[in-house]
């Protein structure tokens, strides 16, 4: 902090994570949805000049991967190498700006997981016992009878297997009360509210100690204190959020970005993230993440999209048809962030044509064409001379936009931008700037200013498109005056 100043110059830190995805399957729209959302928030915070770390990656151990490798006649490591590459490629195609891509087969991760397990064992928070119960391979999660519908896991439509084994257990139950308090007080925030209620309801049944090792699964990290066992894949996976920041398992030296400001995921993995994950941190005396935000499922015909159900849409199919930015837009605007949404090709095409081709694309073309046609090739607008009505509309939109991004209501932030787009369309119809009148230039200036603001708001969502619009606008802010060097370019979103 500067001497005598109350305003800190220290940059705010923003650490955001996605789940690490299983490499038994290839990336699909569900994975893309979470990752694009995280990318938008990371880009938004970077634009706010925050110091951002955005982590994603792949979850590479466990029974599910072992089985998939066997089926594909590959070694598990081969399968992991191949499929984690596909995730990296998908994120490159979708213009995902992650800061690190963690793989749980990386050697620093493995070493750190073993260190952590040894610490927990030394603290007597891990003990030997016998596990008997149900296990769904699809979820890689323990199940009780009440979790099943007609004896099957509702997400994967498969019967869980019955497991009976001598295992090591983690004393999860010991942390139930403390965790409940932290969730209730929002010190460990779970959003949306209905998801917090769901977690508290789940806590009402009581948290039981969980088995954290397996003897029959060979593809996993061996326990440091008993090599006959491998580590339960979730314990291994959770620690990625620390090792992804290059943490080496030293409790006295936590990474500077710790703890996560926001962890995005869907409801399938909420319970484990609201119980086992924070309990491990409490056990290690490491600060908890600040917020989990749980978004809904994309369904096709009302069913979760998943490899086991065979109804997967690949992100590259969408990128091929619509382009990168349109894919980002179509996914994030498909449903309210936090609620389930059903998608279909028909709806996607319709939205593309309405919102992007006729909406944004058409507006940009109209404004630039009008601005180019004026003799005044380089419009200049002093901020102090700006039309007050327009200024108010823009300010109001920015306020809402920022509020929505702060509360992860991404679809609403987009709607705010599209509200400005329709405002411009109405303004054009009302003012008819193509007719020769003395106000013509000022109307075009108003439109250029609004379009500049629309483009700024679009930046985190549609990074390439906003760059293209900025080029067409040639907008510069020179000491309290906007200057434009407009030039026409290709249509942004051709109708399909
Ligand atoms: N590997 C675990 C996560 C470990 S994190 C420490 C896992 N992997 S997963 O590949 O199954 O990914 C689950 C996540 O992918 C969901 O929580 C969600 O973020 C995303 N989605 C997968 N399918 C989805 C839909 N159909 N709809 C929306 N998002 C979904 O669980």
pLDDT (tens digit per residue) in 318-350: 999 999 999 999 999 999 999 999 888 888 999
Q: For the chain, which ranges sit under pLDDT 70?
A: 1-10, 301, 303-308, 375-377
Q: For 212, list phi and psi in degrees, rounded to 5.
A: -120, 15
User: What is the Cα–Cα distance from 428 to 462, expressed in whole angstroms?
Assistant: 24
27 alpha carbon to ligand 1 midpoint, in Å? 10
- The whole-number pLDDT of residue 482 equals 84
Atom of ligand 1 nearest to the CA of 266: 17
Q: For 33, list phi and psi in degrees, rounded to 5.
A: -60, -55
Residues acting as catalytic residues: 28, 31, 136, 139, 153, 156, 304, 307
Is the previous residue joined to 451 through a cis bond, with omega within 30 degrees of 0? no
**Residue 173 buriedness (CB in 10 A; 0-12 / 13-18 / 19+):** middle
How many Cα atoms within 13 Å fall on the side-chain side of residue 265? Answer: 20
31 alpha carbon to ligand 1 midpoint, in Å? 6
Ligand 1 pocket mutation pick from 105, 269, 408 by most atoms within 8 angstroms of CB? 269
Which residue's CA is the closest to the ligand 1 atom numbered 12?
21
255 alpha carbon to ligand 1 midpoint, in Å? 25
- The whole-number pLDDT of residue 350 equals 95
pLDDT tens digits for range 30-87 = 999 999 999 999 999 999 999 999 999 999 999 999 999 999 999 999 999 999 999 9
Atom of ligand 1 nearest to the CA of 296: 28
Q: Which of 37, 22, 2 is nearest to 327 (CA)?
A: 37
Ligand 1 pocket mutation pick from 19, 22, 306, 307 by most atoms within 8 angstroms of CB? 19
Domains of the chain: 345-483 (1.10.730.10)
Which residue's CA is the closest to the ligand 1 atom numbered 22?
30
Ligand 1 pocket mutation pick from 21, 113, 243, 298 by most atoms within 8 angstroms of CB? 21
- The whole-number pLDDT of residue 377 equals 59
Q: Over the range 437-458, which residues count as b (16 or more CB within 10 Å of their CB) and which as e?
A: eeebebbbbbbbbbbbbbbbbb
Ligand 1 residue neighbourhood (C-beta within 6 Å):
19-22, 30-31, 33-34, 59, 237-238, 240, 265-266, 268-269, 297-298, 304-305
- The whole-number pLDDT of residue 98 equals 98
Is this model's pTM higher than 0.85 or not?
Answer: yes
């Amino acid at each position: 902090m500067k001497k005598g100043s109350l305003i800190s110059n220290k940059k705010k830190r923003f650490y955001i994570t996605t789940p690490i995805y299983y490499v038994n399957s290839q990336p699909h729209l569900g994975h893309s949805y979470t990752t694009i959302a995280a990318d938008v928030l990371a880009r938004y915070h970077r634009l706010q000049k925050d110091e951002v770390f955005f982590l994603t990656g792949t979850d590479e151990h466990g029974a599910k991967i072992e089985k998939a490798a066997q089926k594909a006649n590959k070694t598990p490591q081969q399968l992991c190498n191949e499929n984690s590459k596909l995730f990296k490629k998908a994120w490159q195609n979708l213009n995902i700006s992650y800061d690190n891509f963690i793989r749980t087969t990386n050697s620093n991760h493995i070493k750190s997981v073993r260190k952590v397990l040894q610490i927990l064992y030394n603290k007597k928070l891990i003990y030997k016992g016998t596990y008997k119960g149900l296990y769904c391979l699809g979820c890689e999660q323990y199940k009780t009878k009440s979790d099943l519908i007609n004896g099957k896991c509702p997400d994967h439509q498969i019967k869980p297997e019955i497991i009976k084994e001598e295992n090591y257990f983690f004393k999860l139950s010991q942390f139930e009360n403390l965790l409940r308090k932290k969730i209730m007080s929002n010190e460990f925030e779970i959003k949306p509210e209905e998801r917090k209620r769901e977690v508290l309801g789940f806590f009402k049944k009581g948290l039981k100690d969980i088995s954290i090792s397996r003897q029959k699964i060979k593809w996993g990290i061996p326990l440091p204190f008993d090599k006959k066992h491998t580590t339960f894949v979730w314990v291994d996976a959770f620690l990625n959020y620390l090792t992804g920041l290059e943490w080496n398992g030293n409790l006295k030296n936590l990474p500077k970005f710790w703890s996560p400001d926001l962890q995005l995921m869907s409801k399938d993995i909420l319970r484990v993230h609201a119980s086992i994950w924070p309990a491990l941190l409490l056990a290690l005396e490491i600060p908890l993440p600040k917020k989990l935000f749980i978004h809904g499922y994309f369904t096709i015909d009302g069913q979760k999209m998943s490899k086991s159900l065979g109804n997967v849409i690949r992100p590259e199919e969408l990128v091929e048809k619509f382009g990168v930015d349109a894919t980002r837009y179509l996914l994030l605007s498909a449903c309210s962030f936090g609620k389930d949404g059903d998608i279909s090709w028909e709806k996607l095409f319709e939205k593309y044509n309405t919102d992007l081709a006729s909406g944004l694309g058409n507006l940009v073309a109209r404004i630039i064409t009008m601005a180019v046609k004026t003799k005044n090739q380089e419009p200049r607008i002093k901020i102090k001379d700006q039309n007050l009505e327009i200024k108010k509309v823009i300010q109001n939109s920015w306020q809402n936009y920022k509020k929505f991004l702060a509360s992860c209501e991404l679809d609403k932030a987009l709607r705010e931008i599209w509200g400005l787009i329709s405002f411009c369309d109405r303004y054009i119809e009302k003012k008819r700037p193509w007719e020769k009148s003395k106000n013509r230039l000022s109307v075009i200036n108003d439109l250029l200013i609004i379009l500049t603001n629309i483009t700024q708001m679009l930046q985190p969502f549609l990074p390439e498109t906003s760059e293209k619009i900025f080029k067409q606008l040639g907008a510069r802010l020179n000491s309290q005056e906007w200057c434009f060097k407009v030039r026409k370019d290709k249509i942004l979103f051709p109708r399909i």
